[in-house]
Structure formats: C-alpha cells, structure tokens
Amino acid sequence: MYNNITIQLLDQTALLEITRPKFLNALNRETLEEIDHAFSQELLQNKDIRGVIITGAGEKAFVAGADIKEFVNYSAEEGAALAKWGHGVMNRIYEFPKPIIAAINGYALGGGLELALACHMRVASQNAKMGLPEVTLGLIPGYGGTQRLASLVGRGKALEMIMSGEMIDAVEAHQWGLVNHVTNQEDLYNTCNHLLKKMYEKSPKAIAAAIKVVNAGLDKSKDGYEEEVKAFGESFGTPDFREGTDAFIAKRKPNF
C-alpha cells in the first residue's frame, strides 16, 4: 500500500518506519504524503492503536532532511507552497490525539528534525546527530522548525543551531531539552515502548485533552488557560472519568 513507509502494529503501539535508507530516509513528497495519509486514516481510526513510534530504517539515519534533489529548481512560489503544505502535515502530527514518540536512531537533520519536533516526545540513541543545516543551502527551516525548536529549547539555543547549521549529539540534545531521553541503539524501541505503555494505563480521552490544551497554550491565537478550563470541564462528562474515579473509590486499577 505504501512505497516509502511501513507500519507494524506491535501490541497497542504502531511502529511507523520511513524506509528510504539509501537516501538516509530523506522526505520526498511521496513519503510525506504517505505519512500524512497514515496519520489521517489508520493510525487515527484504529482503536487498537494507543500510541505511535516514528523511526527511520537502517543504522544511519532517522531522516536526513527534506529531499534536496526534489526542490533544487523550485521558484519562491513553489518553495512557499511546499512549506505551507508541509506545515499541514506536521500540524496533524503535532495535534494528533494519541502520544507519538520520535525514535531518533541516527541523523535527524533539517525537515527530519522538524518531523521529530512535531512529535510529542523524542528519544535519541547514542549515535544520533541533530541539526538544522538549511542555512548551508541558502534556506531556513520550512516545516515549522524555527518556531518549534525555539519553543522547546529557547530562542538563544534555537538561533545558535539554525544560524550555525551545525549538528549536536544526543547528550547535548538532552542537556538542551531537545530530547526527552538518550538510550543505547539496541534499546531504542523498548525505551520508547516502555514510555508509551505507562500512558496506555491512563485515560486516552484525558491524554488527548492534555495534548490539545498544552498545544493551545503555545499557540499565540489561543488562550491556553481558557482551553484548559473548557477541557477540564468536559472531562467530567466522559466514561473515562467515571472509570478512573470508580476505580479509585473501589481501590482497584482503572481499566481504560
């Protein structure tokens, strides 16, 4: 069904792998379209899927960027249209109502790092290298990276990374707050899955509401506090609230 990605359902976790290792998993248009399709359809609709891990095939790269060869002859209008469309894809991941972890297993550069930034959490293996090298190409990040990196690590560090175009390693990325955890290469999937499994014991409706409200607070067009009040109130009407509070009173584990 897909040419550039695979999706494996392992228990309640979907493992989405980008499978262009020959090109270090660079995101050509078709790959991004397939990722977008997956998040709009099966990953969203399949109730057995409680969380997603995104990673890159091969030993070397998560994703080494947007596919440079595809846009070398683009005009300003074509570049802007590509970035606008890419924003839509990244936003669907950013707003996705189930937890998503980027398992960064090598190079995460340019659009690849921007994809990881759109995920809710990032776990890097010790061999990972992260950077936004667009200035080397006479470009700036165009898939939301200027905004999401600054909101994650602050303006100073974001500008250092963007203006130097240099890569940082997993340990430095952890110190910056860019990745949540660092792990051995062979433990990467298990570490991500372990994080997700803890979330599967909790209310999926509450998790979806938390993603929405945290994102709203970072969105200049929204009032995060107002969104919190609204979502908090709505939680009271959910079966998950009934189950969670009944379980507490009965001194048992909730079953979500």
Q: Minimum distance from CB of 197 to ligand CO8 (Å)?
A: 32
Choice among 34, 134, 172, 201 that is catalytic: 134
Q: Minimum distance from CB of 11 to ligand CO8 (Å)?
A: 33
> Residue 114 catalytic?
yes
Contact of 32 with 70, CB cutoff 8 Å: no
Contact of 87 with 144, CB cutoff 8 Å: yes
Position 109 contacts ligand CO8 (CB under 6 A): yes
Position 162 contacts ligand CO8 (CB under 6 A): no
Contact of 82 with 142, CB cutoff 8 Å: yes
Position 62 contacts ligand CO8 (CB under 6 A): no
Q: How far apart are CA 12 and CA 6, in angstroms?
A: 16
Q: Minimum distance from CB of 125 to ligand CO8 (Å)?
A: 16
Q: In terms of DSSP bridges, do strands 129-131 and 168-169 run parallel, antiparallel, or are they unpaired? A: antiparallel
Q: How far apart are CA 239 and CA 98, in angstroms?
A: 17
CA angle 118/209/43 to nearest 5° reads 55
Pick one of 35, 66, 116, 173: the residue that binds ligand CO8 (CB under 6 A). 66
Position 89 contacts ligand CO8 (CB under 6 A): no
Longest dimension (CA), the chain: 65
Give Rg (Cα) of the chain: 19
- Mapping DSSP onto H, E and C, the string for 52-110 reads EEEEECCCCEEECCECHHHHCCCCHHHHHHHHHHHHHHHHHHHCCCCCEEEEECCEEEC
Report 169-188 residues binding ligand CO8 (CB under 6 A). Answer: none
Report 130-149 residues binding ligand CO8 (CB under 6 A). Answer: 133-134, 137, 139, 141-143
Number of residues forming the site for ligand CO8 (CB under 6 A): 25
> Residue 166 catalytic?
no
240 by DSSP, 3-state: which? helix
Kindly tell me which of 166 and 226 has the beta carbon lying closer to ligand CO8.
Answer: 166
Position 107 contacts ligand CO8 (CB under 6 A): yes
Q: Minimum distance from CB of 212 to ligand CO8 (Å)?
A: 26
Residue with the CB atom nearest ligand CO8 in the bound state: 110
Position 68 contacts ligand CO8 (CB under 6 A): yes
Where in the sequence numbering do the catalytic residues fall? 114, 134
**Site residues (CB under 6 A) for ligand CO8?**
23-24, 26, 64-69, 71, 79, 82-83, 86, 107, 109-111, 133-134, 137, 139, 141-143
